[in-house]
Amino acid sequence: MTVTIKDKRVGFVGAGNMGEALIRGLVEARVVPAASVLAHDVRADRLRELEGRFGIRIAKDNETLVREADVVVLAVKPQIMDAVLAGIAGEVTRDKLLISIAAGVSTARIRTALGTPARLIRVMPNTPALVLEGVTAMARGEGLEPGDLDLAAEVFRAVGRVVTLDEDLMDAVTGLSGSGPAYVAIVVEALADGGVRMGLDRQTAMTLATQTVAGAARLLQQTGMHPGALKDMVSSPGGTTIAGVAALEAGGLRATLISAVERATVRSRELGKGQT
């Protein structure tokens, strides 16, 4: 028998940007009926907004939400995760599947805080999920039931692509795809600044920069082409592109991006250990 999310009640503990993106994906793609989606957040106005926009149900508190839901998405900041877990621990049983999107918070830490061998999956989505173009990494874990990873994948496929890997690689995922949209935003801004410096108006420069980055990424994604092959395709001997590439190499762009992923990964590990 195939396990599916379609007949489950999905609850969101936390209704921030990522929670909203997941709710939108599930409801608009008709993965789950709106009436089967519950949410709770400390901001009552936020909950009313989501209720009006998507037709979901609002839980009066986190304990009620966990009691009523089959799948619970823990969409809260790492800094408040322990307090949230302490509040819901009494409602967590083996018939609930918990999914945590808190960066750096290990499944071992969550299970310790709950005091129970919960069915738990740690995931790392990223902000392009807000426009249904995200990528989510899911960690294989112990204590899961057959089909649990499939249930979680259904939730996150509603907002983009999904990969599955071992939990000890999740900090690297955080450093690359979790933090990566910020790196790309800086690249886009810098490209647009270059266009403005060369005489383009800001709006035109931003249109050119954003679409160039989006188009290049889609080309690599759809063709499976190696990035180096795309670079070579665009670079004519003695031409404009290779002159620009030389400037990037002189500025250390590759090394800087590699270092950014490394530092963000280390910081994720620090946060997971409770370091401030």
- Interatomic CA distance for residues 99 and 91, integer angstroms: 15
Q: For the segment 132-182, what is each residue's pLDDT rounded down to a tens digit?
A: 999 999 998 888 998 999 999 999 999 999 999 999 999 999 999 999 999
Give the rounded percent of residues in the chain with a pLDDT score beyond 70: 98
pLDDT score for 186: 98
pLDDT score for 276: 67
SS (H, E, C) 145-190: CCCHHHHHHHHHHCCEEEEEEEHHHHHHHHHHHHCHHHHHHHHHHH
- Interatomic CA distance for residues 103 and 48, integer angstroms: 27
Q: For the segment 220-231, what is each residue's pLDDT rounded down to a tens digit?
A: 999 999 999 999
Arithmetic mean of pLDDT, 107-111? 90
- Alpha carbon 80 to its chain's center: 18
Predicted structure pTM score: 0.88
The helix or strand, by DSSP H or E, that contains position 73, with its residue range, turns out to be strand 71-74
Which domains does the chain show, CATH number per domain?
5-170 (3.40.50.720), 180-272 (1.10.3730.10)
